[in-house]
Chain A
Amino acid sequence: ILNVEQSPQSLHVQEGDSTNFTCSFPSSNFYALHWYRWETAKSPEALFVMTLNGDEKKKGRISATLNTKEGYSYLYIKGSQPEDSATYLCAFPYSGAGSYQLTFGKGTKLSVIP
């Protein structure tokens, strides 16, 4: 059973603040690490797929880093805006015996206060 953990569980920040949260995952048999943003009443939307140790990816004000040796990834949001309010999920994909499945963390729920 794979264990993917995210912290904190929830976060309230003021508009304009920068914030970050953590995803930890098994460091053995690493394939990739996915980040998804899930806004209320919408579909989870992929932010990043990270595959290489030391990888850093950026999309607008959001960026993510990856450390596969120690099994963690950080997601950073610079200058948070109310529209960043969402649950951020990380997922560890497993592919074997012809199967592909994602093991998700419980998510970090971000609320940005105007």
Chain B
Amino acid sequence: DAGVTQSPTHLIKTRGQHVTLRCSPISGHKSVSWYQQVLGQGPQFIFQYYEKEERGRGNFPDRFSARQFPNYSSELNVNALLLGDSALYLCASRRSYGRTNTEAFFGQGTRLTVV
């Protein structure tokens, strides 16, 4: 079975531009979450989607948005990019959304560099 796949793997954007990151969860997984990891920090929660609805949002500005499609894949969009948005963006999928005793499965991430 394919794991969580993310595209692109690397991306360079200019300040003020917009970016779209994509994630395909493991087959059968309906919950997708997005995390941002900056150097020296642990991953920080951005969004969770389940059955195409936003179920949770972390402490990120409105420039960050996401959506989930009928096939459970997801996009993370960031508008008006800032230098501080440079980070590794991780996508994680789970079969359910609420139970805490099951692990999340992560993709390899998209490395975004804003110049």
Contact = CB atoms under 8 A, between A and B. Distances in A.
Interface string B20-46: 000000000001010100001111110
A99 B100 contact: no
Interface residues of A, number: 29
Contact of B99 (A4, A43, A95, A99): A95
Interface stretch (B62-70, B78-86, B90-98): B90-98
A94 B50 CA distance: 15
A46 B104 contact: yes
Given A98-B98, A100-B98, A89 B42 contact: yes
Contacts of A4: 42
* Secondary structure type dominating chain A contacts: strand
Interface stretch (A14-22, A64-72, A73-81, A104-112): A104-112
Interface string A21-65: 000000000011010100001111110010100000000000000
Contacts of A49: 101-103
30 contacts: A4-B42, A31-B100, A32-B101, A36-B103, A42-B108, A43-B4, A43-B90, A43-B109, A45-B106, A46-B103, A49-B101, A51-B101, A93-B100, A94-B100, A95-B98, A99-B48, A99-B56, A100-B48, A100-B55, A100-B94, A100-B99, A101-B33, A101-B48, A101-B56, A101-B58, A102-B35, A104-B35, A104-B43, A104-B44, A105-B42
Interface of A: 4, 31-32, 34, 36, 41-46, 49, 51, 89, 91, 93-95, 97-107
